[in-house]
Chains A and B, each alone.
Chain A
Amino acid sequence: MDKNYLNIIRSSKLAQFGILLIVFLLLYNLVPHNEGNYFWRLPSLLAFIPIKLNEIIYAALYEWFPLKVWDPIFEMYEEKAAFREFTKSISKGLLFLITFVRELLLGGDKIIDVFVSDAWLKDNDWMTWPALPWTAATVGAFLLGFQLGGIRLALLGGIGSLYVSIFGNWVPSIQTLSFVLITTPICFVLGLSFGIWGYLDRKVETALQPVLNVMQTMPQFAYLVPIIALFGLGDHAGSIATIVIATPPMIRNTILGLKRISPEVVEAGLMSGCTKTQLLFKVLIPTARRDILNGVNTVIMQCLAMVVIASFVGAKGLGLNLKIALNSLKIGKAAEAGFCIVLIAVILDRFTKAWANKQVDYFENLTFFQRYKLLIIFGTSILIFSIIAFIANGYFDKINYLYVIPIEKGFTFAHYIDAAVDWVWETFFYSLNSFNKFLLTEVLGPMKKAYLGMPVVATLTLTMGVAYIIGGIRTSLLVGGMMLFIAMSKYWDRALITMYMATFAVIMASLNGIIVGSIFAQTERGSKIILSVCDFFETFPSFVYLIPVIFLFNITDTSVLIAAIVYATVPATRYTVWGLNSVPLSLHEAGTMSGVSRIQRWTNIEIPLAFPTIMLGVNQTVVFTLQMVILGALIGTEDLGQLIFGALSRAQDGPGVAITLGLFVSLMAISVDVIVRKWAEERKKALGLA
């Protein structure tokens, strides 16, 4: 008898999960909730980590490897740490580049000032670089769009920059653009180099994987405090934060692209007599071109998603405007700035994609003028509009509208939005409010309480148990180790709140995504439509999602959760559509011939086969929701995010705390990732799909 039962348990995962659940519930209810009981909460043995981290950072900045540096103001040698000099020179270099591009487009004399003395500049006040008039830029964007993708992209570029200009957002938009123009190439070079290195050396790739995993799941906020400590405040700090965020996907894309090259192509290169360098630059990189350029596209999107966050460390531009508007609860203004960011994101996205897919025809028989026709028109029109704008200086007495339309003079629809918000607010106040209240008191409140009432031993048993059943002992120990690391800090309660919010949002987003995805995946047309809708939403910087919800639900957990749900529904939908579309047609036909109904086909054939892929989508929603939940700290929640956000204002011990907390969030995401990936892999193998 006994042996029989054991066998059933061994062979049935369902039975194993059942037993795990029973153990979990027993532990949950039996462990007494009192301080000092280690089954209830672990002692914070690891509380020293953030402090140690801080000490290391400050030691590196002020003590290690002192150098004698000549101070031109005091005219004496000073002892300074080498690391600090190093970070300082990076900051200076970056700031110079950003300012350079900015002045090139907006005009000014700061860059000229670098090369001549202040006094000379004062005496020669004609010596400023003229701004690029928005009229010229609009024509330029139109022509560039035309060159890349015909009339559609031309209209997108032209109307986009016209909109940005006449609504008075020209200056902040250019500030943001100059930020992107400097940051993207740096990410590109770094990502490509590390990607190639990882491709060439297996060991490097193995070492890179976990680092990239952590970097891509760390909340963006967590980087800010250490960056302030190391590099100070300013545009360069924003740029560095963005580089840290946007380089990992570039590395991954490069490795992926290079690995996808068929070995025959490599052999063909070798047999053609390529040297190692020739093989790399003439065969490997060009062949992986599409994937690498997709990486560039991702980098640009990340840069724009980061503009608001970068504004917390002093980056100027649309992000800063949005942040200020949001802080003073000016929804209309925030929406306008947000719309500009989305517009720039969409334009850059379409332009770079068109560029990536463009093939060059080397053998067109063209004369010089035909070949460079557009370039010549481009140059001359910018010149002509600049001259017109310059001449117009005499016509306008105060503001030359041909150069810049300042924000207070531009068109605006902010008051319409404000009015609409007011109207919604007045009309639906009671229903919105009661919905909000219901959700908070009936669903979210109890859920939060349940999470906080979970003894640590129960949590660990549950997570490790699930990991063990799905992935075996190694996965279990890995996940357990990561959870233990969090549990032994003093932030466990906050982590539980983060977990509760993430759990709720992940469940809702996954349900939404699976339903929406399933409905649209029924036809080929529907799939195409929904995938392009997903593309569109993915170009939205995460921050933009917060704008409408705050105004509907105020500053509560509900707002953050709804933003997180909407944000994370995108990957869930996308993967559902992919999964359903990848079910082989022959199985559909086999199902139809067996006489299944439409619903039966969905439940019995499509969903089970698509489920591993769908779960990978759920995996993505975890990362997405965690990002948004942490971002929610900005509008005031009380989880880990708030502490990370709070660390911003505590420069003294902030860096260590921010890194540690960011790491916690990252570890949570990775734990889920490890389990889900393992499960999906095995499931795919079992279904013969891998």
Chain B
Amino acid sequence: MSPTISCSSVYKIFGNNAQTLLSESGGNVDAKKFQEAGCIVGVNNASFDVNQGEMLVVMGLSGSGKSTLLRCISRLTDATSGKILIDGEDICLMNNKQLIELRREKMGMVFQNFALLPHKTVLENIAFPLQVKGVTTENSIHKALEMVELVGLKGRENYFPRELSGGQQQRVGIARSLAVEPDIWFLDEPFSALDPLIRKEMQDEFLRLQSVLNKTIMFVTHDFDEALRLADRIAIMKDGIIEQLDKPDNIVLNPATDYVRKFTEDVPREKVLKIESIMDASDPHASGEIAVKKDDIIETVAEKILNSKEIIKVVDDKNSVVGSINPSKVIKVLFGG
């Protein structure tokens, strides 16, 4: 199956003669040289795929180009060069009409500062993408009511954005982006403007939604912990370059560059690593009463393993045994050494 989003050699360079400078450099972009020429490099040679139902989290500090990358893929800005395929079609070559069609049918986006329309109520905000598409008021309001229920805002349908807390406003933003039932869901630092407690709550809510909806997701954040919590895969960006793109546990175990290592240093391993990464796969016929799944995060099953007197078997999704686990390995992860 072809990937839902596929980028190859995407560049975004801001400045007057970006195009000529880029073709002169032959794809070998040096940010410093470009800056001297009056250009700022937003995205530097990004190539990756996002598969159907996968959540890719793009992580980077401010100015790393993560939001720019997201905007290139949603074509809120035009990439300077490169190919961006959405379900096999190059979005950079689309005309305005096709683009509007694509956004109306396939895409939804959530913004950092919510970007709700101040003159519309919760319900009207959520129904807005449907209404610009030409859905009747009755049907769009009906759909919006469903969405209100989905994000847990029942009873506040007629509030105006200014009457809601930050967390509630972002729920509206999420509901709006989901109203057209998009396949692809873009989230641009959706929880960064919220305070830590609410942020945690919204992350849980988000995971719950994703388990129900199973969208293809690109999620931008500057918070490494958030990335670890949510991602199927993480892309770490710096100065427009993707430094590493891998599964969370792999990034923690094998950081590709020093920059990535700095982020991973303080991360508690047991919160990231899965049983799979410490199991003994050479023993596929281990017996025993107690089993853990290979995709379980170590922290969540550590107690179960350490309390057990017997060998613990590791099973996969289909409940067939794939290996066993030695408690000493768990202790090693938990307490280092």
Residues in A lying within 8 Å of B, measured CB to CB = 262, 264-265, 267-268, 270-275, 278, 282-283, 286-287, 289, 359, 361-363
Contact = CB atoms under 8 A, between A and B. Distances in A.
A459 B58 CA distance: 63
A361 B124 CA distance: 11
A271 B103 contact: yes
Nearest to A271: B109
Contacts of B107: 271
Given A271-B74, A272-B176, A363 B112 contact: no
B54 to A, nearest CB: 20
Interface residues of B, number: 35
Contacts of A267: 71, 76, 109, 111, 115
Contacts of A282: 128, 132
Given A272-B132, A362-B158, A363-B157, A264 B112 contact: yes
B158 A274 contact: no
A265 B169 CA distance: 13
A273 B100 contact: yes
A493 to B, nearest CB: 50
Nearest to B109: A271
B311 interface: no
Given A268-B111, A271-B103, A272-B103, A363 B121 contact: yes
Nearest to B77: A267
Contacts of B158: 361-363
B323 interface: no
Contacts, number: 71
Contact of B108 (A270, A271, A289): A271
Contact of A272 (B71, B76, B121, B129): B129
B121 A264 contact: no
Nearest to B106: A273
Given A265-B117, A267-B76, A287-B118, A273 B129 contact: yes
Interface centre among A262, A268, A286, A363, by most B CB within 10 Å? A268
A264 B117 contact: no
B104 interface: yes
Contacts of B332: none
Contact of B119 (A264, A271, A274, A286): A286
Given A363-B123, A363-B157, A273 B115 contact: no
B123 A283 contact: no
A270 B132 CA distance: 10
A287 B117 contact: yes
Interface string B103-141: 110011101111111111101100011001100000000
A283 B176 CA distance: 14
Contact of B115 (A268, A274, A275): A268
Contacts of B129: 272-273
Contacts of B101: 273
Nearest to B179: A272
Contacts of A274: 100, 132
Contacts of A361: 158
Contact of B113 (A264, A273, A286): A264
Contact of B117 (A271, A278, A286, A362): A286
B188 to A, nearest CB: 8
8 contacts: A264-B111, A268-B116, A272-B176, A273-B101, A274-B132, A278-B132, A286-B120, A363-B121
A260 to B, nearest CB: 11
B48 interface: no
B145 to A, nearest CB: 11
Interface string B158-187: 101000000000000100110010000010
Secondary structure of the A contact surface, majority rule: helix
A286 B173 CA distance: 18
A663 B119 CA distance: 42
A283 B117 contact: yes
Contact of A268 (B100, B104, B109, B160): B109
B100 A264 contact: no
Contacts of A363: 121, 123, 157-158
Give the top 5 A-B pairs by smallest Cβ distance, nearest first: A273-B104, A272-B129, A268-B115, A264-B115, A271-B109
Contacts of B108: 271
Contacts of B157: 363
A262 to B, nearest CB: 6
A267 B75 CA distance: 10
Contact of A273 (B103, B118, B119): B103
Contact of B121 (A270, A273, A287, A362): A362
A450 B104 CA distance: 72
Nearest to B107: A271
B160 A362 contact: no
Given A267-B76, A278-B132, A362-B124, A287 B113 contact: no
Contact of A262 (B113, B119, B128, B160): B113
A362 B127 CA distance: 14
Nearest to B121: A362
Nearest to B162: A359
A262 B115 contact: yes
Which of B108, B114, B117 gathers the greatest number of chain A CB atoms within 10 Å? B117
B156 to A, nearest CB: 11
A291 to B, nearest CB: 12
A287 B107 CA distance: 23
A287 B133 CA distance: 20
A586 B173 CA distance: 35
A275 B101 CA distance: 10
B132 A273 contact: yes
Contacts of B124: 362
A264 B169 CA distance: 14
Contact of A265 (B115, B133, B186): B115
A448 to B, nearest CB: 54
Interface in B301-315: none
A340 to B, nearest CB: 36
A289 B71 CA distance: 27
Interface in B29-81: 71, 74, 76
Contact of A289 (B119, B128, B180): B119
Nearest to B133: A273
Interface string B71-104: 1001010000000000000000000000011011
A365 B158 CA distance: 11
Nearest to B130: A272
B206 to A, nearest CB: 18
A264 B177 CA distance: 13
Contacts of B128: 272, 282
B177 to A, nearest CB: 8
Contact of A359 (B117, B160, B173, B180): B160
A262 B161 CA distance: 15
A646 to B, nearest CB: 51
A271 B132 contact: no
A287 B119 contact: yes
Nearest to B180: A273
Nearest to B186: A271
A628 B74 CA distance: 55
A270 B103 contact: yes
A124 B120 CA distance: 53
A287 B116 CA distance: 10
B139 to A, nearest CB: 16
A61 B203 CA distance: 71
Contacts of B103: 270-273
B76 A270 contact: yes
Given A286-B119, A363-B123, A363-B157, A275 B113 contact: no
